[in-house]
Structure 1
Amino acid sequence: MFLLIISVVIAAFLPFLPFIYLPILSLIILSLYIKLDFKVSTLKIVVALLLIIFVYFTSLAHKQQVDFLLMGLKEQRGEYLLKVAENNGDYYTLKIISSQNSKKRDSILFFTEQELPINTILLYKGEIKNFNQYKNPGSFSPYNIYRWRNYGYITENSGNTAIIQFGDKVSKKEINDFINKRLEKLADMVVPLAKGVLLGQRRELTTEQIINLNRGGLLHITAVSGLHVGIIYLIVQTILKKILSKKLSLTIAFITAFAFTGIVGFRPSTLRAIIMLGIYSFAQIQGYPYSLKRALEITALLNILYYPLVVLDPGFQFSYLAVWGIAYISPKLKFFEIISNNYISSILKITVAVQLAILPLNYYYNKGIPLLTPIANLLVAPILPLYLGALICFILFPWKIIAIPLEIISYYILNISAITGYWLHINEIMLIFIVFLFLCVFVIYKLKNYRFKYLIPILLSALMLIFFFHQPAVKIHFLDVGQGDCALVQYRGYNILVDTGGIMGSNIGRNVLLPTFNYLGVKKIDYLFITHPHFDHMGALGEIIDYIEIDNILIPDNEEMYTPTFLNVLEKILEKDINFQRLKKGDSLVLGNITKQVLHPPENYYPSQSVLNNISLVTLLDYKGVKVLFTGDIEGEGESLLIDELVPVDILKVAHHGSNTSTGELFLTISTPKYAIISVGLNRYGHPSNEVLQRLRDRNIIYYTTQRDGMITVKIKRNGQYRISTYGR
């Protein structure tokens, strides 16, 4: 059964992997069946193959359907009648009742601070946005699963929303409101955590609390999961078994857990838990033996057969791998049995087993290894059932005697998360090197031939030297941030960021930039250039300023810079005591052999049109004769002022995402770039313009786009030679 599950998961993933993986993974599956299930019957093999084929083609068909819809679908605009189907805490899932658009989506996510009852009818006029799939190393969007489900999303700023009819008077919202009112009787400091743990609501948690919980590996306790469902079941069953029959106590416990799941939502992790609890309850009532391994395998198989794309959901991946660790790894950790206290021994085994099981996922999604997460979970996991039980009691009986221990435990959890948030962030090359190092140590330990024992360290040292000397002196990464701009320059430990990108409602800083920074080894930003105050160039600044140290922020020295968008972030910049500088034509930044010269805007410049675009900082980066021109969103008027300053460049960052209002004939004739980089995503503006692309072709300028190529990296060697590579293809 376990082998079948692995095969089915691989089959579900295959449509999303390059074609070259198909024969490789097929051989892996075949080899596993030959090695592990050599004596399996022909009938079982046939059934397994049929299931694998079914899952593969179901997954493939759905992917092709979504690809077809998205191929010609930019941003849908129109009028939609929508119904609130589910409250997910930070957003609502809406079903489309009627639409003007012929290309319909399955559902829409609505990111809003409004409180909307289930079954509320909304009239929405505006655009429905697509979920981007960002092609950067380390980047991951938690909403990728919704992209493949053919979901779109809307925000309060993407259109006009009117409530046509309020939903049910008695609904999950009313239950949530009742619970929220009771929880608000607790101390202000602990209310957000209590709401997060019981209802999965993170809105009231401060940014600092979310960062600490995430780094400490405890953020999962604020996302209602299978753990919560299991604890509710355990609490109810433990209490009732003392006063009711076994059959009745198990039945009521399951019904209670099922009702709780209905309130918080049937997500992959809660669905996994409730199905497994159903199997457990049935086995106990009927007197059948219960196998955790078999229950997990049956539940996973049912989930995947019903909806193969669920394997792309991080909630599914973490939930099933965690339980797999308990079932398969925990029994092998015999070392902890030396502890005389069975309870402590069991907690240690389960905690370590779970952390080992989800370690690959932690690395994949965070590009790092949590160093103290096992300790944090070890300190918090044993008291979580007590905490949940006390919360339920407080909701029923809001007495001060219950509130006091709740507040103490809340402070305890928040403090534990604050002191255990240490991660080791390493990129894939370094990870491969570490694995290789451990393999060498293992081989040396096993080898009996002493000559080979000395040869391996010598070879390893040689490989390290080769690796070091082949590293480029300068790396310039043009990140895929959708319809926006973001470039990172790395040189001698310095990190220079030019713009941050930003898409309304996307949390692009936390979901895209920070994971990529972790992958690239960025611990702090030394210099952050904001070219101009449009959201697609600086929208993520408000996010990353909370997560990563920034030494200097540099902006155009122009009064037009101080828009509401920028002023919203300026207050936070001043609070963080970040060095803040205004730049104009003639200023420059020199770091060793690298120079970044400001060419625009000139002093006291006031554009007559496209004001914010034309005040863009235009900078020329020069390293040993290799010149890269960064242009922001400058348009024709600004370009005309640059003509006298322009010199031939090697690489041009095309202005304004390839708009036909920029990158004019004369500008290209004088700058004569060999390569052009266009930072662009899905948009309704027609970027990049065919006219601009034709200008580039006419001059034999090789161009790259982040939408097509993903992150684009320029690597400049110490001798001035350079090459360009792409991540997305």
Structure 2
Amino acid sequence: MVTCQTSGTFLAAILIFIAIQKRFTFIFLLLCFAVVVLSHFYFQHHEKVQTAQFNKMQQQSEYQGVATFTQQPVKKGNQFKGFVNVRNERFKYSYYPKKEQDALGHGEQLFHLTCQIRGQFKPINDHIHSPFHLFIKSVDFGSCTATPERQHDYLKQHQKFITDQLQETAIHFPGRIVALISGDVSQLDEQELTDVKAIGIYHLLAVSGSHVTALSAIIFTVLIGLRVPTVFIKIVLCVVLIVFGLYTDLAPSAVRSIITVLFILFLPRKWLHQGVDTLGLCFVFISLIFPHFIYDIGFQFSFLITLFILLSKPLFERTQQGWLNLLYLTFIAQLGSFMISAFHFNEIQWMGLISNLLFVPFYTFLLFPLALLRFILLHLPFPFYLLDQLLNFLFFIHDQCVDICLYFVKFKWFIPELSSIWLCFVLFALLMVLHYFVKRRFVSAVFMFMIFAVIITKVPLQHTNQLTMLDVGQGDAFLFQNKAGETVMIDTGGKAIRENEVNNHSISKYQILSTFKKRGITKLDYLIITHPHADHIGELDYIMTQIHVKQLIINVDSFNPEQLAYLKHYAAKLDTHVSDFRDMSEICQIYH
């Protein structure tokens, strides 16, 4: 995650840029400097506390005690997922019950039970702000008691009611309605999530500022049409938005949007003369109450994209055509998200520039309003077959468009790992591109962006011979890379999959592909598989779909005929040549 020093550097850079643009006085510049210094010490203290808590959790990772299950579990294969309260803290959990327990449906009955459990806490990654995930090894169902009524989370009860009601409708994808309304994507298929992330529209499924804006606009338009007094409209919006925020489990991006809307509704107009001022006030307010939000990726995306849009206000004011403003908005949003994507994911979803032009209006004006309407109508004891079929048709169109976009996603844009100095360069370069774009000097902006893109993609790469032993659990995976950028990988790691278990390919997603992106590796020249055991070949199929493998080298004798036939057919579809290990001379020449 972003360190205190890096956060302070970013904030200082933004303040200096704005100060120069606005020609602030010397006193105001001193005040800006004081804000940077104070924020540095504030977040440094928070980081020390967070580090101590992180280390304590790692030292006490094994847990045996009481846990309260606060959410209806979501079953995927033989696995149950949800949220649990342990020691007055809320954690995501995963639970693989024994077969006899699963047959009795115990896993699905955990909602609002308090039970004795045995499990282990593990962080998602090594960063001190990483949330911990509870992997439950066993549940003593004999010790379970119903959570007292006074402790019930009524919003969770209502979410369970909505989920159950959606199952009774004719909607083919009820999980998508849940995701659009509450931001809960746990009911969506892993491949579906991977696809929408790949084309850069995941923010439309998870709760974001666009949902809050659309919800506020719908309520405001309806109440204005009914001639409701403004004061009552503000009260209704306030109540609905607060409930909506709680309904989304206080998702940081939703909290940012909700607080911004509330500021606009209730603060005096003279305080809201500049949108950047409102955004800054909102940032300070949220940071003081929820300091950990600043490390949330969605929160960072939300604020930086909003900042870039607000800085582009003169461009929108001078443009009368709505379609042209939408085009500008999409480009500026991509520009605002560039640095966060490069830092956290080492990849730029360039397809988002095109896909958002299509999907943002599609979600804003069709899917979200209709999903909200269906959500409201679920409280009535009547079927709405035509509305359900309309939603099914829209989801069908949606999936067809996603498939078309996915065809072009095979062209990857990886960004190497960036130091703090490089991140500062990225920020200033993006602001300069934005400056020229807002001034309508589009040729200069595009030319500058292209030069910047080439520099940031190629220059930070380390052109040395490297051997990396990848952390793939009990399996093995080795990556060789020479000065010329040629690559050889030995085995992929993996794990044995239980019966009915869904393979989420976490090893590939969080270890192997993450390393590829940081090294700027967009292809593998050779991938060697020593033998077809799960801990050596388990991630092969997923890796081959995510990155082009030129040549796959195997020990033909170690595969049975069915395995070999499937592997050759699968490789042929992905334009990968399969050969036997006995011809190794070409590989040896690479590292000679």
Q: Normalising by structure 1, report the TM-score.
A: 0.59
Report if the CA contact (8 A) 1:554-1:580 is conserved. no
Structure with higher Rg: it is 1
Deviation at 1:272, TM superposition (A): 0.8
Answering whether residue 477 of structure 2 is matched by residue 486 of structure 1, we say yes
AA matched with 2:358? L
Q: Secondary structure at the match of 1:40?
A: helix
User: In the superposition, relative to structure 1, how do residues 214 and 575 fare at CA in structure 2: closer, same or farther (>3 Å)?
Assistant: farther
Report if the CA contact (8 A) 1:494-1:525 is conserved. yes
Q: What does residue 709 of structure 1 align with?
A: none
Q: What does residue 416 of structure 1 align with?
A: 401
CA distance in structure 2 between the partners assigned to 1:30 and 1:290 by the alignment: 18
Q: Deviations over 1:559-608 (max 9, x none)?
A: 9x99xxxx9x999968846799998xxx534152x34xxxxxxxxxxxxx
Deviation at 1:217, TM superposition (A): 0.8
CA distance in structure 2 between the partners assigned to 1:75 and 1:481 by the alignment: 23
CA distance in structure 2 between the partners assigned to 1:45 and 1:552 by the alignment: 56
Answering whether residue 513 of structure 2 is matched by residue 514 of structure 1, we say yes
User: In the superposition, relative to structure 1, how do residues 125 and 428 fare at CA in structure 2: closer, same or farther (>3 Å)?
Assistant: closer
AA matched with 1:212? D
CA distance in structure 2 between the partners assigned to 1:294 and 1:28 by the alignment: 17
Which of 337, 351, 355 lines up with 1:358 in the alignment? 337
CA distance in structure 2 between the partners assigned to 1:553 and 1:198 by the alignment: 48
> Kindly, what percent of the aligned residue pairs are identical?
17
Q: Deviations over 1:371-407 (max 9, x none)?
A: 3312211112123233112112223434223223322
CA distance in structure 1 between the partners assigned to 2:578 and 2:52 by the alignment: 50
Q: Secondary structure at the match of 1:408?
A: helix
CA distance in structure 1 between the partners assigned to 2:172 and 2:197 by the alignment: 18
Which of 129, 141, 149 lines up with 1:148 in the alignment? 129
User: In the superposition, relative to structure 1, how do residues 43 and 188 fare at CA in structure 2: closer, same or farther (>3 Å)?
Assistant: closer
Q: Deviations over 1:647-677 (max 9, x none)?
A: xxxxxxxxxxxxxxxxxxxxxxxxxxxxxxx
Report if the CA contact (8 A) 1:118-1:173 is conserved. no
Structure with greater helix percent: 2
Deviation at 1:359, TM superposition (A): 1.6
Matches within 5 A, 1:470-619: 475-481=466-472, 485-490=476-481, 495-502=487-494, 507-519=506-518, 520-523=520-523, 526-529=526-529, 533=533, 535=535, 537=536, 540-541=539-540, 543-544=542-543, 546-549=545-548, 552=552, 554=554, 576=570, 588-592=582-586, 594-595=587-588
Q: What does residue 58 of structure 1 align with?
A: 45
Q: Secondary structure at the match of 2:120?
A: strand
Which of 179, 185, 189 lines up with 1:202 in the alignment? 185
Matches within 5 A, 1:45-194: 48=35, 51-66=38-53, 68-69=55-56, 73=58, 76-84=61-69, 91-97=81-87, 108-112=91-95, 119-133=112-126, 144=127, 147-148=128-129, 151-156=131-136, 158-160=137-139, 162=141, 164-167=144-147, 171-184=154-167, 190-194=173-177
Deviation at 1:14, TM superposition (A): 2.3
Q: Deviations over 1:144-163 (max 9, x none)?
A: 4xx436x532235x444647
Answering whether residue 390 of structure 2 is matched by residue 405 of structure 1, we say yes
Q: Secondary structure at the match of 1:527?
A: strand
Q: Deviations over 1:108-164 (max 9, x none)?
A: 43135855776532321133334432xxxxxxxxxx4xx436x532235x4446472
Answering whether residue 3 of structure 2 is matched by residue 13 of structure 1, we say yes
CA distance in structure 2 between the partners assigned to 1:353 and 1:30 by the alignment: 19
CA distance in structure 2 between the partners assigned to 1:580 and 1:166 by the alignment: 58
User: In the superposition, relative to structure 1, how do residues 526 and 277 fare at CA in structure 2: closer, same or farther (>3 Å)?
Assistant: same
Report if the CA contact (8 A) 1:525-1:548 is conserved. no
Equivalenced residue count is: 515
5+ long unaligned stretches in structure 1: 1-9, 99-105, 134-143, 443-462, 596-622, 625-715, 721-729
User: In the superposition, relative to structure 1, how do residues 222 and 589 fare at CA in structure 2: closer, same or farther (>3 Å)?
Assistant: farther
Which of 288, 293, 306 lines up with 2:276 in the alignment? 293
Deviation at 1:258, TM superposition (A): 1.9
CA distance in structure 2 between the partners assigned to 1:43 and 1:370 by the alignment: 38
AA matched with 1:52? S
Q: Secondary structure at the match of 1:369?
A: coil
Q: Deviations over 1:632-651 (max 9, x none)?
A: xxxxxxxxxxxxxxxxxxxx
5+ long unaligned stretches in structure 2: 75-79, 97-106, 378-382, 434-454, 496-502
User: In the superposition, relative to structure 1, how do residues 30 and 414 fare at CA in structure 2: closer, same or farther (>3 Å)?
Assistant: closer
CA distance in structure 2 between the partners assigned to 1:82 and 1:253 by the alignment: 36
Deviation at 1:225, TM superposition (A): 2.2
Matches within 5 A, 1:225-240: 225-240=208-223
Deviation at 1:511, TM superposition (A): 2.8
Deviation at 1:302, TM superposition (A): 2.0
AA matched with 2:48? A
CA distance in structure 2 between the partners assigned to 1:318 and 1:30 by the alignment: 18
Deviation at 1:320, TM superposition (A): 1.0
CA distance in structure 2 between the partners assigned to 1:227 and 1:33 by the alignment: 26
Deviation at 1:308, TM superposition (A): 3.3
Q: Normalising by structure 2, report the TM-score.
A: 0.71
Deviation at 1:58, TM superposition (A): 1.9
User: In the superposition, relative to structure 1, how do residues 327 and 88 fare at CA in structure 2: closer, same or farther (>3 Å)?
Assistant: farther
Q: RMSD of aligned C-alpha atoms?
A: 4.7
